[in-house]
Amino acid sequence: MDVTITYEEGHAHVAAVRVLTYRLQRPPTLEEVAEVLGSQVEITNHRLRALEKLGIITIVENPFEAHVSVEDHLALEKLPAEASATALADAVQDFRRRQEEKASEMMRKFEEDDEKGEKKKKHDRIAEDLRGYKKKPARKAPWEK
């Protein structure tokens, strides 16, 4: 799936990174950028990763947080003015397909577990019947009476 970001979104994110870098005197974290933009951290992270793939920004991660810095702000000019409707539709369709695959995989696993459970119950019933089985005395032959 190709990640797309519009010209306006790219400029907003880069501007937020630049302003925070100036104010904080250090590269900002993803959470700080999201707060300035009034956006969710997940959406901001997705868009910043798209900008990183295009070489516009760099995200440096450590075990606790990720910091963002601007690399090539001139590359913003190459971004499309607006996202194409087909790209968005393709992304939604791809997402739905993956969700359906995950759901079918989960259903398959649960069905396998149900089948195993049924087999185990049947095996347990047979084992219980065998434990309760009392041996009958052997029948005598007719001439042994």
Q: Residue 2 has what pLDDT? A: 56
Q: Residue 1 has what pLDDT? A: 44
pTM: 0.56
All domains in the chain, ordered by first residue: 7-78 (1.10.10.10)
CA–CA dist 48, 55 (Å, integer)? 10
**Tens digits of pLDDT across the chain (145 residues):** 455 788 888 899 999 999 999 999 999 999 999 999 999 999 899 999 989 998 999 999 988 899 999 998 888 888 777 765 566 677 778 888 999 999 888 888 777 777 777 888 888 888 888 887 777 777 888 887 6
> Is the alpha carbon torsion for 48, 7, 37, 95 positive or negative?
negative
CA atoms within a 13 Å half-sphere pointing along the CA-CB vector of 87: 10
Q: Residue 3 has what pLDDT? A: 56
CA–CA dist 125, 112 (Å, integer)? 20
